[in-house]
Amino acid sequence: MKFRYIGKAVTLIGLVMVVLGIIFTLQSKSVVGPTSSFMYSNSEWTINGYIIVTTGIIISALGVILWWRYSNEDAIL
């Protein structure tokens, strides 16, 4: 039962990472954010943003797997 809650938490953390990665990527491409930011129009943060988004997707997928797997076991028991 507690793994279901851990799965929800891991999914939420992954989704937050995806959103932050998207914001970082958009800021690095000069779409959003203040021009005084060190990330604004900085190609390094484009790569970092993509890495953060990809990592967030993987973490979210693992969270969904945990959430789904253990919620189905609780229903069976």
Q: Please state the φ and ψ torsions of residue 35, each to the nearest 5 degrees.
A: -70, -15
Q: What is the pLDDT of residues 14-64, one digit of tens each?
A: 999 999 999 999 999 989 988 888 888 889 999 999 999 999 999 999 999
| In the chain, domain spans | 2-76
In the chain, the amino acid numbered 18 is V
Two structure tokens written together for 49: 């943003």
pTM, whole model, 2 decimals? Answer: 0.83
- Between CA 1 and CA 6 the distance in angstroms is 9
SS3 for 29? coil
